[in-house]
Amino acid sequence: MNITIVGGGYVGTVTGASCRFFGHNVTILDTDQRKIDLLSQGKSPIYEPGLEELLQLPGTPLTCTTAYEDAVPHADMIFITVGTPTDVDGTPNMTYVQDAAHHIGLNLGTGYTLIVNKSTVPVGSGNWVESMVADAFLSRKGHRPDGTFSVASNPEFLREGSAIHDTFYADRIVIGSGEARAIAMLSDLYLPLRNQDFVPPPFLPRPEGISAVPLVTTDLASAEMIKYAANAFLTVKISFINEIARLAEKVGADVAQLSRGIGLDSRIGSRFLQAGIGWGGSCFGKDTAALAAMAREYGETMHIVEAARHVNCKQRELAVEKILGELKILKGCSIGILGVAFKANTDDLRDAPALDIAKRLIGRGAKVLAHDPVALERARQEAAIPNLHFKNTAAEVFEGASAVLLATDWQDYRRLPYAELRRAMKTPTFLDGRNFLDPDEMTAYGYRYIGVGR
């Protein structure tokens, strides 16, 4: 099949590289020439483990372009994977989707094309995209595109940092459409994944116990809603344990033991039950805001989701309060931050708790020194904040610091020479914002170790 991906970011590049692996002719289109140049050389425009290896496996060459006229006319299936960032009122900014739909409509070929929304978009967006494609088609061709195309929804559930794994060994695949032809095409596309009968790439062995991936076929609106509901549920789970962590701290309980004690209940499950400085990233904040905004539009209130957002915001402030509680005065202090990316194994800085906390500390007069094993260069470009200094080595953030906050649980930070690093600090306060390190060990190294909820 000829597959075109519109939007070569985290989702689009992974989707394109995966479709190519399964033998399809893939074109990736992005308006960002830099990303297209990198992709054309087989390089990944983002940091995602395994992605470059996947792009460089032998197979049909990937076509990369910024021109819709080169990407759309021949396509059997077009995935829209452009960004849908949050607007000020919480609604998703749909201008990128609008632009993509318009240009797809202008360039549709003569055969049937299935347009698939993979971007996370509010309920009704499938119909909206359909009308924009049709209008653009009409404006160029002078007649309506009867039967030439249809629009389906195929929400994406990958997690940055394990995106290739999540694509090849998904928990489920969701397809939403009212048209049998669209459902059949997507079901066929995903057949090797559903049956798990492909030979895995050498660097991505099939995990034990995976023999099939369930396919959930729904109407358009339900598929669109599933994505928001799934992300909202995960944020609720994290905020729930963070709220419990606050109380655990007050009553002298250990949230890590609590998490284990409740997570082993199969109705609850242990994942997303780790207390810390809260969630961030490109999806949770914006998708919960979008869900709440969508509810308001329909006269509903998402009380639980709004509460999860509130708790998450408080969790970031809690990090500042904990440091303040130790140091009393932040003015003139140097605070080190380990990890800038919103989570480990990605270079994504969108809504990163580390950056938010850094701003709050700086707002109280501190100077912040931050390190990240992967996202440093991006941070220097995208987060130029006065009094926030990005350092090339983790050791540098300890130098003269009155406190160090571990904000991202990169594996590299497990193995730092903490005993030695402590000696470079002004006062040895260490806030482990991810409950990542061993409290006893850190205390033995001479730190005043503070976790979250323990």
User: Which positions from 400 to 419 touch ligand NAD by CB under 6 A, shown as an x/- string?
Assistant: --------------------
d(CA 331, CA 362): 9
Of 158 and 349, the one with the shorter C-beta distance to ligand NAD is 158
351 near ligand NAD, rule: CB under 6 A: no
**Separation CA 129–CA 122 (nearest Å):** 11
Secondary structure (3-state) at 367:
strand
Nearer to ligand NAD, 131 or 443 (CB): 131
The residue with tokens 């500042």 is 320
Among 63, 282, 408, 429, binds ligand NAD (CB under 6 A): 282
- Report which of 167, 62, 84, 176 is spatially closest to residue 130, judged by C-alpha positions: 176
Q: How far is CA 402 from CA 106, 160, 365, 368, in A?
A: 59, 32, 13, 10
Tokens of 418: 């903490």
By the rule CB under 6 A, 378 interacts with ligand NAD: no
Q: How far is the CB of 246 from ligand NAD (least distance, A)?
A: 28
> Considering beta carbons, is residue 383 or 421 the nearer one to ligand NAD?
383
- Total chain residues near ligand NAD (CB under 6 A): 26
Active site residue 283: yes
Nearest distance in Å: CB 32, ligand NAD: 4
Find the catalytic residue in 19, 283, 313, 333.
283
Nearer to ligand NAD, 10 or 390 (CB): 10
Contact present, 425 and 448 (Cβ < 8 Å):
no
Determine if 7 is a binding residue for ligand NAD (CB under 6 A): yes
Rank residues 8 and 145 by Cβ distance to ligand NAD and give the closer one: 8
32 lines the binding site for ligand NAD (CB under 6 A): yes
Q: Are 149 and 115 in contact (CB under 8 A)?
A: yes
Site for ligand NAD in 151-170 (CB under 6 A): 156, 158, 160
The alpha carbon of residue 306 and the mean position of all alpha carbons in its chain are separated, in whole angstroms, by 20
b/e for 151-167, b at 16 or more Cβ within 10 A?
bbbbbbbbebbebbbbb
Catalytic site residues?
Answer: 283
Give the binding site for ligand NAD (CB under 6 A).
6-12, 29-32, 35, 81-84, 96, 99-100, 119-120, 156, 158, 160, 282-283
